[in-house]
A and B are shown apart, each in its own frame.
Chain A
Amino acid sequence: MSETILDVKDLNVKYGAIHALKGVSFTVAKGEVVSLIGANGAGKTTTLRAISGMLPYAGSVSFRGESLKGVPAHDLIGRGICHSPEGRGVFPNLTVMENIELGAYTRKDRDGIAADIEHCFRLFPRLEERVKQAAGTLSGGEQQMLAMSRALMGRPRLLMLDEPSLGLAPLIVAQIFEIVKKINSEGTTVLLVEQNARMALKISHRAYVVETGKITLSGTGQDLLNDHRVIESYLGA
């Protein structure tokens, strides 16, 4: 496998008395899709938020060899990490286009931005028809497409997606995962957080199982899909 770009070591996060992450360690190599799967409250979102500088933590996170500790959230995008948050986080009162443009807030290359907007519309043609619509009026699936487009506008080296399938119909979920695969095949490394373990594992090179703040299993997507513990706990009958 190629070089490691994200290296998370012994990550610990506390919310007051709640010890949400108890020493989470994992790596993501360039070009991979890596998933963190696990049940409600396992600590997946917390992990992404810590990497993004939105929470104080103990332990270390390094990206392309540099420590991210103390780097404020707004500097992450400049280093190549774009984070599409849980619940999508589109700006409901802003138009679809304004949301997309905000994804490129730190960029100044007008031509590159225009080209990337075109690219988003090729990935998600439904957004193009709705550019002037307020983002809050989009369906859940469309909002997810918007959130992903917005994250792509930052030209990420590492795209972090927090539960892109949340609350979406199976057909849309399948589409979204297809597109994650496509984004990855175009060269973007992806760190995916999902409760929908089956879909996530199918498109992942590697994955980690998070349980109550700890990593309990890891392996290739295929291995985990066939692991009896994963089947029992996360894939249903």
Chain B
Amino acid sequence: MEDFIQHLINGVSLGSIYALIALGYTMVYGILQLINFAHSEVYMLGAFAAYYTAIGLGRALGADLEPGIVFFGIVLIVAMAACGVAGLTIERFAYRPLRQAPKLNTLITAIGVSLFLQYTGQVIFGADPKSFPTVLEDRSLVSSGGIDLRLFDVTILLTGVAFMSGLHYLIHRTKTGKAMRAVSTNRQVASLMGINTDKIISMTFLIGSSLAGVGSVLVGMKYPQIDPLMGLFFGLKAFVAAVLGGIGNLAGAVLGGIIMGLSEEMVVAYLSSTYRDALAFGLLIVILVFRPAGLLGKWQTEKV
């Protein structure tokens, strides 16, 4: 039983990272009906931005900058900014010129951008994994009866909840959020309201990408190894999480992320770690067969 609760904690913590990244997929899909395959590479770039910032700050400040909430905060902001800029750039130069083109063209472009960044990443950062510097020291917060509540998991959870609540507020309570929902429902009519739809689409990429930046720091912290192909599997699983919840649906992305994190943790704990990555694809197949619109999605034909 203690074991199970421990796995539950780990699973939800991992799940909230998937959720943060799944949100980016789902937001872009909601507004452009595009599966932004490059999103997983934006996440990878965030991890490297965080890595170099942490290394650089460590060198420059030495012992003056202890691992802790300030260090974590700085790295988080840099990663978010880096991802935001990366997302904006990709949208502006790869997707916007194809706005009137058939969706398949944009989809193929997205795959192209994704591959381009994977290989460019290997050239620039080197293909070998790098170990992520300690920006926050993990420690046990509560330890009793075989259950160990650790600082990392609490940090991950709180960070996830904070950003997801922020996003919820933005989407449902602000004028920009209202415009985002309008553009995702009907771009042409939205423009008749005086909404500059290109700006709103950029904003969507900016926000979704910076959430991936948050995810990348949390991953770097908890599983301290990063490499230019790290987005491949992690991003794919986050994507499956988005599909599981119902792509285009924000609450669905969060739910899908948590389910993905939990089931991965449980599979590894009670079956075998061999199935860790197979699980995502297994889930994908099951959803596609039984509930193609996802748990919270509405079925709509011809979307990709």
Contacts and interface: CB of A to CB of B under 8 A. Distances in A.
B104 interface: no
B185 A74 contact: no
Interface in B120-139: none
Contact of A94 (B175, B185, B188): B185
B142 interface: no
Name the residue among A73, A78, A82 with the largest chain B CB count within 10 angstroms. A73
B189 interface: yes
Contacts of A154: 193-194
B178 A77 contact: no
Contacts of B193: 74, 77, 102-103, 105-106, 150, 154
B179 interface: yes
A106 B186 CA distance: 18
Contact of A74 (B178, B181, B186, B197): B197
A52 B192 contact: yes
Interface string B39-71: 000000000000000000000000000000000
Contacts of A70: none
B191 interface: yes
Given A73-B188, A73-B191, A94 B197 contact: no
Interface string A70-89: 00111111100011010001
Given A85-B188, A85-B189, A91 B181 contact: yes
A93 interface: yes
A7 interface: no
Interface in A52-108: 52, 54, 72-78, 82-83, 85, 89, 91-94, 98, 101-103, 105-106
A93 B185 contact: yes
Interface residues of B toward A: which range?
A: 10 to 19
A105 B191 contact: no
B196 interface: yes
Interface residues of A, number: 25
B195 interface: yes
A16 B112 CA distance: 30
B194 A78 contact: yes
B203 to A, nearest CB: 14
B194 A91 contact: no
Interface in B182-228: 182, 185-186, 188-197
A106 B192 CA distance: 11
A106 B194 contact: yes
Interface string A186-210: 0000000000000000000000000
B182 A74 contact: no
B179 A102 contact: yes
A82 B189 CA distance: 11
Nearest to A75: B194
A82 B191 CA distance: 11
A89 B188 CA distance: 9
Contacts of B182: 91, 94, 102
A77 B179 CA distance: 15
Contacts of A89: 186, 188-189, 192
Nearest to A77: B194
A74 B186 CA distance: 13
11 contacts: A54-B191, A72-B191, A74-B192, A74-B195, A76-B194, A89-B188, A91-B182, A92-B185, A94-B185, A102-B190, A105-B179
Given A82-B192, A102-B182, A103-B193, 20 more contacts: A54-B188, A72-B196, A73-B191, A74-B196, A75-B194, A76-B194, A77-B193, A78-B194, A89-B186, A91-B181, A91-B182, A91-B186, A91-B189, A92-B185, A93-B181, A94-B185, A98-B178, A102-B190, A105-B179, A150-B193
Closest 9 CB pairs of A and B: A106-B194, A89-B189, A77-B194, A73-B191, A74-B191, A91-B185, A102-B193, A105-B193, A74-B196
